[in-house]
A and B are shown apart, each in its own frame.
Chain A
Amino acid sequence: MFSKLIYRNAKRSRKENLIYFATLVTAIASFYIILSLGRQDVILFLKEFESDAIDKLLALMPIVYLFALFLLFFLILFANRYQLNRRSKEFGLYLMLGMRKERLVVQLLAEGFLTSVLALIGGILIGGFLAEIISLTVSKLVGQGIIGHQVSLSLGAIIYTIIGFLAIQFIALVILGGRLFNQEVHQLLYEQMDQKQDMGHVKGNVLHIIVGSVLLGVAYWIALYHLIDFEGMLVFVALALGSLGTIFFMRGFGKLLGLLASRSERKSTKGLHTFTVRQFQENIANRSTSVAVTSILITLSIILIADGASTLLSSGSDLYNRSSSVYDFTVNGNHSGVEEFLTSETMVVYVEDLNLLEMGRMREQDGLTGDGMARSLVDWSNLREQLIMALPSDDREQFLSGETQGYTISSENPEALNLLGILEIDATEPYLIPESSYNGLLKAIGEKPLNLLSDEIALYFNPDFVQFDDLERLPVLDDMLEKAAKDGHRLMYINDQAVSIRPSIPMRGLVADRSVEIFTAFIVPDRMFEQLLNTETYRSYWNFRIPQTLQDQHGLMKPLIEARDALKASGFEFESYLQNFGRKLFYVVAGSYTILYMGFLFLMIACTVLALQFLTQMKQTGQRYLTLSMLGAKRNQMKRSMHRQVLWTFLLPLSLACVSAVVGIRAMIAFVMIHIEHQALLYPIAFIFASFIIVIVAVYGIAVARSADHEIDRLRWKPNVD
């Protein structure tokens, strides 16, 4: 008997709260996805190179999961509270019929359990399916099809999802059941949850709006201009002020809507205008805090989604941007075995443009200076002077007065300052690269060899570490060099011999990944290299590329992996572009996955709260629509009014959220937390993600409108026959 009652009640509440149930299913699906992340192809693939970082990311997932559970807990608490309040009469009746309160609470728990189990089944099925699809698509898109596919089903994820979800459902129901437990039967039977119309005083409400606006303004100001002051603590201040401001604003705004209703006499007799405004007002004013919370959630979700999208965008373009790195593999060392192995039959198919990179530091002058320091062979004082002259006047004064303590090399500095900084650090004992090594690299990219004169050198800046806008065109330096060449003026002496400097040579990464971490080097004729090299610092690397023909046939990744496996077997120390790629990929995945996930979760929760709130009000005030129909309102008229209410209910928190989010995003761009590399892609991508958000909100809005339509269609005047 009881099982039948439980079953029927659970079925009814699912039907009545379809939106809520659907959100539960979606949330469970998303829990499963986040928990089964470790089984995703991309992650399995990345584990091979970046296992530490991946472990860290996966260790982060339970925290994300717990946080998401925490959010969902409030949603469940909120939704169930309304549901139980609406059913209080029914509970009162059970108690009147002699049901014990313990029994009632147990029954509620059982109903909740039944709903949860169904939601879990649906959610895990959908989640499993989605995880599979995400896994496949991401590995296809990002991994160019080389990442092998494995079924991503994860038993652990299923178990944790079930435990977590049942736990929050249980806690929420126990809390609510406890409240029910403490109420008297009479309260349950006769006390409606209708609140008295509390519209406050106009003055108080204006004050609320003003306080809210001021708080929001301060929060915006902090966000835009002082976000990173006090070691970033102001971020929290801005968030707190913004949230508080939103709450105050909503509180004042909701109640002041009444003015709107009573102000315009002409409009007030236009259809159900007054009624619509009053309904909206009631919805906002009586629940201003939760409306404000949804607005804050939407703000956060927009910012998070923008952040995640920008990570995707900039890293995504980074991922395949190989303009600076030429080689696919670098094998360390110069013992004869390396060359032999690389030209052996097993490897030769994978090797093209094999090139030995030699390098080392310049030796110092014999004997020490007066103060016991080693003396540099390089005298670049003429160049230094010219560079100082080329500085913008502010920087020059600072530099000359000795105020400049250190150098930051960045693309925002004037070129001369960067050059000066790099050379000051490196020029006393510069790295040397023999011309022949660099020519090999140039040949690989189809450039002409340098053919340096015996007293000529070239300056090399490593594009992997020196962030200039365009390393190959350094107008200040090039001008200087050309002018010097024309005047016969020498800018640099090495070992007391005047050298000329070759302007604008192509610059590329020296190795496949990171085994050479230098900013700058002098490319010198081979003879000079031998003369000036400090032999203790000599290092050499064998670089090669995967042949283009092989790439054309199989894509880059497949031969890369095959060559890697062959090299691994050989026991040589080596690095490959895969690591480079893997690291970048990791940032994309780690950055965008979690952030986008949280963003969409926030959005979903905000929309569900708004939807539930509206539908609850709709059900509580269903009688009003009956009265309206008695006064001659047509169903269409009422539906129009209701659609408008839905629209406003969603638009109000959304519009404030949009304003706040724009400020937030601007702040993040200003303080370079969001970095957008390809401006051209910015608008399409921003548009796509904005559409995502709008579609989600619209889906909820339409779902709400439809089920409210349904309520209106169901309205029947029930005559009490006496």
Chain B
Amino acid sequence: MVSRAKLLEVQDLQKNYGKKSNLTKALNGVSFDILPGEFLGIMGPSGSGKTTLLNCIATIIKPTSGRVLLNGENISAFNSKDLAEYRGSRIGYLFQDFELLDNLTGQENILLPLSIHGMDFASARNKLDQLASFLEITDILNKFPAQMSGGQKQRVAAARCLISEPDIVLADEPTGALDTRSAKTLMNKLEGINKSSERTILMVSHDPNAASFCSRILFIQDGVIFHELRRKHDETQEQFYERILQLLAQLGGGSANVL
């Protein structure tokens, strides 16, 4: 494979909370790269710093030191106006609890990023239809979130984050609020999007099942990356899942019991 330009570079990221006497180092020098088209997972127990890492990349919080480069641009140094441009158009978010606006219909929710950024609706029409049929939400486009199931809500949210064709999708425990079946459907869809349109995805999760859909997984603990797993070319998702479980067992009995 030809070596591709790095899409995202995380360089020696540090994030401290609290004052000197009570300092918590949530991130203690994290560095990694993401290549275009990758499906990267970040796993770690509660308090490991994985959400802080995602939030730094998502520009929701500012790192104490270090840089985050998206296509070579240092987004951790952006001002708020540039950040607004960057959010929703160049990166898409998938939240654990969907964050759909419950007074907007599914379609209105999906189109929201476009209207915020003043993009053309006519050209998005096709895109909307494609996404809706791929994510199997065509029938519920005119429903309100309250009338949808959890899985449907998350797929609508996925359509919303994909509609503006972002460079990268950041997903924070996207299956956290879903039952296993819905979770599996969602992960299948995400994997499909990653494969078919080479959309880059960065997903934080502590669910080994969800993580097994990734092509690479970084393990983080106490603010540092301490392990990495790569899915082999011929490895099935089930096999990869076994491998993740093995690793977690070696590390100390799975995600819930690392202490």
Residues of A with Cβ closer than 8 Å to B? 194, 196-197, 199, 261-262, 265-266, 268-275, 278-279, 281-282, 621, 623-624, 626-635, 637, 717, 719-722
Residues of A within 8 A of B124 (CB): 269
B26 an interface residue at 8 Å Cβ cutoff? yes
Given contacts A633-B84, A634-B84, contact A627 B99 (CB under 8 A): yes
Residues of chain A contacted by B113 (CB below 8 angstroms): 631-632
| Contact A273–B84 (Cβ < 8 Å) | no
Q: Tell me if B81 counts as interface (CB < 8 A to partner A).
A: yes
For B, the interface residue count at a CB cutoff of 8 angstroms equals 47
- On whether the beta carbons of B115 and A268 are closer than 8 Å, the reply is yes
Tell me if B121 is interfacial: C-beta within 8 Å of chain A: yes
From A194, A628, A632, residue with most partner B Cβ within 10 Å: A632
Known: A278-B104, A632-B85. 17 other contacts (CB 8 A): A261-B108, A266-B121, A272-B115, A274-B112, A278-B108, A621-B103, A624-B103, A627-B100, A628-B116, A630-B93, A631-B88, A631-B113, A632-B87, A717-B61, A721-B26, A721-B49, A722-B46
Which chain B residues lie closer than 8 Å to A271 at the CB level? 115-116, 118
Partner of B47, one of A261, A278, A624, A721: A721
Q: Does chain A have a CB within 8 A of B60?
A: yes
With A197-B102, A631-B87: A269-B115 Cβ-Cβ less than 8 Å:
yes
B88 touches A630 (CB 8 A): yes
Does B46 contact A632, Cβ atoms closer than 8 Å?
no
CB-CB under 8 A from B84, the residues of chain A are 629, 632-634
Given A627-B99, A720-B51, A721-B26, are A269 and B120 also a contact pair (CB < 8 Å)? yes
27 CB < 8 A contacts A-B: A197-B146, A199-B144, A262-B142, A265-B121, A269-B115, A269-B118, A269-B120, A274-B104, A275-B101, A278-B101, A623-B99, A624-B101, A628-B101, A628-B116, A629-B84, A630-B93, A631-B112, A631-B116, A632-B84, A632-B88, A632-B116, A632-B117, A719-B52, A719-B55, A719-B60, A721-B47, A722-B51
Provide the residues of chain A in CB contact with B103, threshold 8 Å.
Answer: 197, 278-279, 281-282, 621, 624
Residues on A with C-beta less than 8 A from B77 are none
CB distance B99 to A270 under 8 Å? Answer: no
Assess whether B121 is in contact with A269, with CB atoms less than 8 Å apart.
Answer: yes
B87 — nearest CB in chain A belongs to which residue? A632
- Chain B residues with CB below 8 A from A627, complex form: 99-101
Residues of B within 8 A of A633 (CB): 84, 88, 116
B112–A275 touching, CB < 8 Å:
yes
Whether the pair B112, A262 counts as a contact (CB closer than 8 A) is no
Q: Report chain A residues within 8 Å CB of B100.
A: 627
Residues of A within 8 A of B52 (CB): 719, 721
What 0/1 readout, one digit per residue, does chain B (108-145) give for beta carbons within 8 Å of chain A? 10011111111111001000000000000000001011
Contact A630–B121 (Cβ < 8 Å): no
CB of A637 to closest CB in B, whole Å: 7
Tell which of A274, A629, A630, A631 has the most Cβ of chain B within 10 Å.
A631
Contact surface of B with A, Cβ cutoff 8 Å: 17, 26, 46-47, 49-52, 55, 58, 60-61, 80-81, 84-89, 93, 99-105, 108, 111-121, 124, 142, 144-147, 160
**Which residue on chain A has the smallest CB distance to residue B99?**
A627
Complex: how many Å from CA A262 to CA B141? 12
What 9 pairs across the A-B complex have the smallest Cβ distances?
A: A632-B88, A269-B121, A632-B87, A631-B88, A269-B115, A197-B144, A627-B99, A634-B84, A722-B46
Return the chain A residue nearest B48 by Cβ: A722
- Chain B residues with CB under 8 Å of A269's CB are 111, 114-115, 118-121, 124
**In the bound complex, how far is the Cα of B112 from the Cα of A279, in angstroms?**
14
Return the chain A residue nearest B17 by Cβ.
Answer: A721
In this complex, the member of A194, A269, A629, A634 whose beta carbon has the largest number of chain B beta carbons within 10 angstroms is A269
Please judge, given known A-B contacts A196-B146, A268-B111, whether A630 and B81 are in contact too, CB under 8 Å: no
Residues of B within 8 Å of A274, CB to CB, are 104, 108, 111-112, 115
Identify the closest chain B residue to A625 (Cβ). Answer: B101
Q: Which of B81, B85, B116, B160 has the most chain A CB atoms closer than 10 A to its own CB? A: B116
Which residues of the partner chain A approach B47 to less than 8 Å between Cβ atoms? 721-722
Min C-beta distance of A722 to chain B, whole Å = 5
Give the distance in Å from the alpha carbon of A196 to the alpha carbon of B144 in the complex.
9
Q: Bound state CA distance, A290 and B81, in angstroms?
A: 39
Query: Which residues of B sit under 8 angstroms from A199, Cβ to Cβ?
Result: 144
> A721 to B51, Cβ gap below 8 A?
yes
Q: Which of these, B55, B118, B145, contacts A270 with CB under 8 Å?
A: B118
Give the residue name and chain of the A residue nearest to B26 (CB): A721
Which residues of A have CB within 8 Å of B93?
630-631
A721 to B45, alpha carbons, bound, how many Å? 11
- Residue numbers in A under 8 Å from B121 (CB-CB): 265-266, 268-269
B99 cross-chain contacts in A, Cβ below 8 A: 623, 626-627, 630
A629 to B101, CA, bound (A): 12
For B206, the closest partner residue in chain A by CB is A722
In the bound assembly, the distance between CA atoms of A273 and B112 in angstroms comes to 10
A630 to B26, CA, bound (A): 22
- Least Cβ distance of B15 to chain A in Å? 10
Q: Chain B: which residue is nearest A719 at the CB level?
A: B55
Selected contact of A719 from candidates B51, B117, B118, B146, CB within 8 Å = B51
